[in-house]
Amino acid sequence: MKFRTFASFVGPSVFLMLLFIAFPLVSVFTQSFQLTQPVMTTVEVETCTPGFLTQTCTTETKTVPKLTATGGVETTTTWVGFRSYQNVLQMDKVWSAVGAGRLGDILQIDFWKALRFTLTFTLITLPLVLIVGMGIALAVNNAAASLKGQIIFISLLPFIITPVIGALSIRWLFIGDGILTVALENLLERDIAMFAQGWTIEILMLFYRVWHVAPFAFVIFYAGLQTVNQDTLESAIIDGASRWERLRFVVIPHLMPLIIFISLIHLMDSYRVFEEIVGFTSQAHVISLQWLTYDFLQPDDSGNRAIGRASASAMLTMIGIVILLVPLLRRTWRDHRGSN
């Protein structure tokens, strides 16, 4: 292909990727080393509030931001090096916890608490999604032709639901005296509060994510199953291979690239777990890295946003994803080189 043709095809996509991915990334990277803060002044202010029945006026010194002539808040931006990262990671506390031999204390720091959950969540849902997805695909593949359409439609439903809505509906089934909690209470004849402790909420979240994402794996695997070489399967049957052996030695090796593809996508997606935290209002017990970034970005009760810490936490999240993906990417790279 001529370079001009190639460039005119690829150009728009490269431009959009620069605009929407590369530049924001550079900007976040820069901001993680900066601190923008309002210029504060101390003023003596008389404030009058209703009190009760009569007005009460108090004069006090207040620290308030300086306003510019145009009405905005005057801010200054300074380079602070790794201070935002330090504020997120709190390594001094980590080392002192390690030094004192109380490793559990590390999990009281927001970032490490979030990392613990994010990793558990990612690594537990991955095999479950693969197994459940493969299970449904095999079941549909072996189902009678007249039922296939209906089964596919029903299996895809969870994937169609908006994530937050799905999380909320599961929450409402279980929270307080939700119908499923009451049903469980009747079944087990004991009082159950699903939202009173962390581990039950985590189980609900894992269940929800597997339920939501398994159809994606199913669709991909089902497509892959259609391309399995029938001759190889038949010769395996003639050789006396059982159903399990055929799956183990013929089907799975054939689907391996797809398994890696789904794993890559799932790792990237679930490391950014967020909807579950919001949907299940689990902040008191369980938080994730993506939620932590969001929380830094939310204005606090004095109107400040911790942009520096949010940027640092976003960069750390990205680094985490890259580390998780390395083994899989290396494998794909090896296969790629091998096939050439």
Partner 1 sequence: MMMTRLVAAGAISLLGTGAFAECAFENTVPLKSLSAGFEAWKSVTDAMAECGNFTAELDQEFRTKQPAAFEANPSLYQIGGVSNGTFTPLLNAGTIRPLDDLVEKYGGGLAPNQLIRVDGKIMAIAMMVNTQHLMYREDVLADLGIETPTTYDAVLAAAEKIKEAGVVEYPVGATMKSGWNIAQDFNNMFLGYGGTFVNADNTPAVNTEAGLQALETMKALTVYMDPEYLVSDSTYVQQQFQQGKIAMANLWSSRAGAMDDPAESTVVGKVKMGMAPLAVDGGTPATTLWWDGMVIAKNITDEEAEAAFQLIMEGMDEDMVTAANDQAIWLIGGYVPGDVAQGVVATATHDPAPLAYPSTTQMGLMHTALGNELPAFFTGERDAAATLEAVEAAYTTAAKEAGIL
Binding site for partner 1 (CB under 8 A): 35, 37-40, 43, 45-57, 62-65, 67, 71-73, 87, 107-108, 110, 175-176, 193-198, 281, 283-285, 295, 298-304, 306, 308-309
Least distance between partner 1 and beta carbon 51 (Å) = 7
Judged by CB, which is closer to partner 1: 50, or 338?
50
DSSP labels, 162-173:
-HHHHHHHHHHH
Shortest reach from residue 208's CB to partner 1, in Å: 16
- Closer to partner 1 by CB, 172 or 207: give it: 172
Whose Cβ is closer to partner 1: residue 134's or residue 312's?
312
- Give DSSP secondary structure letters for 191-203: ---TTSSHHHHHH
Give min distance, CB of 35 to partner 1, in A. Answer: 6
In angstroms, what is the minimal distance from the CB of 76 to partner 1? 8
| Cβ neighbours for 269, distance < 8 A, ≥ 6 positions apart | 213
Q: How far is the CB of 98 from partner 1 (least distance, A)?
A: 17
Element (DSSP H or E) covering residue 132: helix 110-142
- Rank residues 51 and 253 by Cβ distance to partner 1 and give the closer one: 51
Nearer to partner 1 by Cβ, of 172 and 333: the residue is 172
The smaller minimum CB distance to partner 1, of residues 154 and 193, is found at 193
CA 85, CA 161: separation in Å to the nearest integer?
Answer: 36
Q: Which is nearer to partner 1, 93 or 148 (CB)?
A: 93
153: left (phi over 0), alpha (psi -120 to 50) or beta: alpha
Q: Going along the chain, which residue ranges are E strands?
A: 34-38, 40-49, 56-65, 75-79
What counts of helices (H) and strands (E) characterise the chain?
15, 4
The first and second tokens of residue 110, run together, are 């927001």
Task: Give the number of other Cβ atoms within 10 Å of residue 213's Cβ.
Answer: 24
Which is nearer to partner 1, 47 or 227 (by Cβ)? Answer: 47
CB of 25 to partner 1, least distance (A): 23
Minimum distance between the CB of residue 34 and partner 1, rounded to whole angstroms?
11
Q: CA 285, 290, 170, 218: dihedral to nearest 10 degrees?
A: -130
> What DSSP string describes 221-263?
HHHHHTTS-HHHHHHHHHTT--HHHHIIIIIHHHHHHHHHHHH
Q: Shortest Cβ distance from residue 209 to partner 1 (Å)?
A: 20
Nearer to partner 1, 37 or 141 (CB): 37
Output Rg (C-alpha) for the chain, integer angstroms.
27
Distances (CA, A) of 146 to 143, 154, 269: 8, 14, 34
Q: How far is the CB of 308 from partner 1 (least distance, A)?
A: 7
Q: How far apart are CA 294 and CA 286, in angstroms?
A: 14
Scan for tokens 């997120």, then name that residue.
88
